[in-house]
Amino acid sequence: MSSHSLLSPPLRKGEYVPSKPSDLRSPCPLINCLANHGYIARDGRNVHSKELLAAMNEIGLSSGLGAVFAKPIFLEHKPPKTVDEDQVKEKAQQSESFLGHIWYLVRNPWAVLFSSFGMRQPGQLDSMGKIYLDLNQLGQNGIVEHDISLTRDDIAQGDNITPQPDLVEDLLQSSSDGRKTLSMQDFASLRRRRIERQREENPAANYGSSQHQIACTEIALVLDVFGNGTSIPWNYAHAFFKEERLPVREGWKKRRWWSLGFIELGKTAGKVKKLVGITF
């Protein structure tokens, strides 16, 4: 054991340490924040569903909403099916018993409702036989990660995981009140500009109605978690987007009296979508 390891106390959960080049990270700044604070594996490897679900509580999400974000991605990834694969599957299903179907539904409700969101590779288990993900797997395009991110390049442009300094700076410069806040209107205007810009720079970008809904919900999540649903303090945004750090030093605290649930997030996302004003 080195003298350094003897002298260095273990990092506390919640303590911020920026990622190292050897660490794995995702395209999502919120997930990366949770890793940088040690709420999930700091190196971004072998992350378990239960661990991620507990981390969602640290930012004030309800157990139901947290489960929607934390559980489906751990399902096994299913590549797009071909006609032949469908025929094979249909024959296999015909041979299964009715009770077998019922048992599958009971054991795997997430697989029935959210099968298209799975990112785990077949047989991806840790040494204890538990399913896990590495954070860079969240960069699989077309599942949850989408083109025309506010802070990442499109996958066709190279790196869709690492935040791009110019895009982060554009986001922070979007404040319309002299860097006091970033409002819902500021985010919506930036979202519209990004769509228009990427339609020119990457005409093949995969961005339709479902991707737009996800993108507007991402903005709503930032507004509801770190702000009052209509704006967030500019210094909170700087910590979150530039450092991928929860803005605790700046005064942020997770919700104390009520958690963020589906209805509140959905209402905020609807308002964002209306302000963006682009239909697909």
* pTM exceeds 0.85 for this model: yes
User: Residue 218: which of 164, 152, 162 has the closest Cα?
Assistant: 152
Residue with tokens 């700087």: 238
**pLDDT for residue 14:** 97
> d(Cα 201, Cα 61) in Å, to the nearest integer?
36
Degrees (nearest 5) of the Cα angle 79, 191, 267?
85
pLDDT of residue 102: 44
The conformation of residue 143, written as its DSSP 8-state character, comes to T
* Structure token digits, residue 87: 């025929």
Residue extents of the structural domains in the chain = 22-145, 146-280
Q: Confirm if 31 and 244 have CB atoms less than 8 A apart.
A: no
The pLDDT of residue 109: 55
Q: How far apart are the C-alpha atoms of 115 and 133, rounded to whole Å?
A: 16
C-alpha to C-alpha distance for 220 and 66, rounded to whole angstroms = 15
Q: How far apart are CA 275 and CA 217, in angstroms?
A: 13
Tokens matching residue 250 = 């700046």
Would you state the pLDDT for residue 6? 57
The continuous run of DSSP H or E covering 198 comes out as helix 184-201
Check residue 87 and give its pLDDT. Answer: 47
Give the pair of three-digit tokens for residue 146: 């989408």
Res 117: pLDDT: 83
Taking a C-beta distance cutoff of 8 angstroms, is the pair 151, 241 a contact?
yes
| Three-state SS at 248 | coil
d(CA 26, CA 222): 17
Q: Angle CA(220)–CA(223)–CA(229) in degrees, nearest 5?
A: 95
pLDDT of residue 280: 84
What CATH homologous superfamily does 146-280 map to? Chloroperoxidase-like (1.10.489.10)
- In the predicted model, residues of the chain with pLDDT beneath 50 are 1-4, 82-85, 87-88, 90-92, 94-96, 98, 101-106
What is the pLDDT at residue 114? 62
Distances (CA, A) of 137 to 47, 49, 130, 251: 11, 14, 17, 32
